[in-house]
Amino acid sequence: MTQPLTLSSLPLFPLGSVLFPGGVLALRVFEVRYLDMVRKCHQTGAPFGVVSLTQGHEVRQAGAPDERFHDIGTLAVIEHLDNPQPGLITLLCRGSQRFRISERHHLPHGLWTADVDHIDHDLTVPVPEDLQKAATALAQVLHTLRQRDPDTPNAITPTAGQLNDCGWVANRWCELLPVPLELKQRLMELENPLVRLELVGDVLERTGIAQ
């Protein structure tokens, strides 16, 4: 179910990846069309929208056709911004709410903005017994990541509540699994978190990750 967002003219960042709610996104920003945008978002505490590309490249190329991207994306909230050198900004962002584009606009300097409706947050659905192995395997993988590189943004220590939340477990697996971008997009778009986790569970069983 979608409802109008209070934000208007949401700035968009088309990427060759999918941002899931609750996920971490690290970006290096150097294109002029995005430098001013991320500075303003950081100063005002406003999010920008991350959408997955279907055509084109993350970095604009001379003479290339306009980027094309999916209608459903995720709001990105800037948690940390650094300016290590002139013309370069590094960001650490957190995925927030999903949205659906109702109308998109391409501004003269290349930035995309959109009128969007938000998609309701996932309902909190407990992980059923037959999918507990997916949650257990996720906890083990996250523990291994923390041991290998405790400073990586994905080196998180999940709470018991998160590991018993279908949407949270499914989203973290979607970020970790080496599955095609189009499949990640379809999983992100699903409004039923239990169905999303069931599909993830099928992938885990086929690959032998969670038996």
Burial class (CB in 10 A: 0-12, 13-18, 19+), 109: exposed
For residues 61 and 53, what is the distance between their CA atoms, to the nearest angstrom? 15
- Number of other residues whose CB lies within 10 A of the CB of residue 114: 22
Q: Token pair 């996104």 is at which residue? A: 25
First-to-last alpha carbon distance for the chain, in angstroms, is 34
Per-residue DSSP letter, 123: P
pLDDT band at 5 (very low <50, low <70, confident <90, very high): very low
pLDDT band at 8, cuts 50/70/90?
low
| The predicted structure's pLDDT at residue 35 | 93
CA distance 155 to 144: 9
Burial of 104 (0-12, 13-18, 19+ CB in 10 A): middle
Q: What is the pTM of this model?
A: 0.90
Report the half-sphere exposure of 27 (CA within 13 A, side-chain side).
30
Structure confidence at residue 148 (pLDDT): 87
Rounded to whole angstroms, the Cα distance separating 145 from 142 reads: 5
Name the least confident of 15-24, 180-189, 202-211.
202-211
Quickly list DSSP for 25-84. EEEEE--HHHHHHHHHHHHHT--EEEEEEEES-SS--TTPPPPEE-SEEEEEEEEEEEEE
The pLDDT value given to residue 132: 96
Residue 119 has pLDDT above 90, yes or no: yes
What are the structural domains of the chain?
A: 2-119 (2.30.130.40), 129-207 (1.10.4060.10)
